[in-house]
Amino acid sequence: MTSYLVRIYRKAENNLRMLVGVVEEPGVKEKKAFSNLYELWDILNPVKKAATQLKKSNNSKRNRNMKQG
């Protein structure tokens, strides 16, 4: 299980999806900024994003092969 430190600097009272902050992993110098709930979700769930990127990459390769062949 991965641990994160989430710092929320601003949120809109009338729209709970509007958040601004940063996410840090203990022991990692890099900080990842987010400006809404969806970006925060993507940072906290990188496996889903990586799987989506892999799928896009595979589709791109397949499309290139189809154009060449």
Q: What is the pLDDT of residues 19-64, one digit of tens each?
A: 899 999 999 999 999 999 899 999 999 775 555 555 556 555 555 5
For the chain, how many helices (H) and strands (E)?
A: 2, 3
Confidence label for 15 from pLDDT (cuts 50, 70 and 90)? confident
Distance from the Cα of residue 31 to its chain's centroid: 12
Largest pairwise CA distance in the chain: 55
φ, ψ of residue 27 in degrees (nearest 5): 85, -5
Mean pLDDT of 13-19: 81
φ, ψ of residue 31 in degrees (nearest 5): -115, 140
Per-residue pLDDT for 13 more than 60? Answer: yes
pLDDT at 2: 82
Confidence label for 12 from pLDDT (cuts 50, 70 and 90)? confident
Domain ranges for the chain: 5-68
